[in-house]
Amino acid sequence: VAGGTGDVAFAFLDRADSRPRAASLPPARAIVADINAEMLRAGAARKTPTGRGDRLARVC
């Protein structure tokens, strides 16, 4: 909730990717939810870290 531009979600994905045995587990996914559609659009317009954009969904 109040995920805004997705910074916390990307930090979560980074942390999940660094966990032990991460390569042998399914990749983590994140859903960013925010009541403000403009914040979600701002986050979607930003350049996403390589390999992360397809693992992140945004909902308003």
Q: For the whole prediction, is pTM greater than 0.85?
A: no
55 assigned to some structural domain:
yes
**What tokens were used for 35?**
């009541």
Quick one: average pLDDT of 43-50? 79
Task: Say which residue, 49 or 11, is predicted with more confidence.
Answer: 11
Phi then psi for residue 11, to 5 deg, are: -65, -40
1 assigned to some structural domain:
no
2 assigned to some structural domain:
no
Boundaries of domain holding 11? 7-59
Instruction: Give dist(CA 17, CA 4) in Å, integer.
Output: 22
21 assigned to some structural domain:
yes
Report residue 60's pLDDT band, with 50, 70 and 90 as the boundaries. Answer: very high
**What tokens were used for 40?**
């979600």
Quick one: average pLDDT of 26-37? 93
Residues 6+ apart with CB under 8 A from 14: 49
DSSP 3-state of 15: helix
> Considering its fold, how many domains does the chain have in total?
1
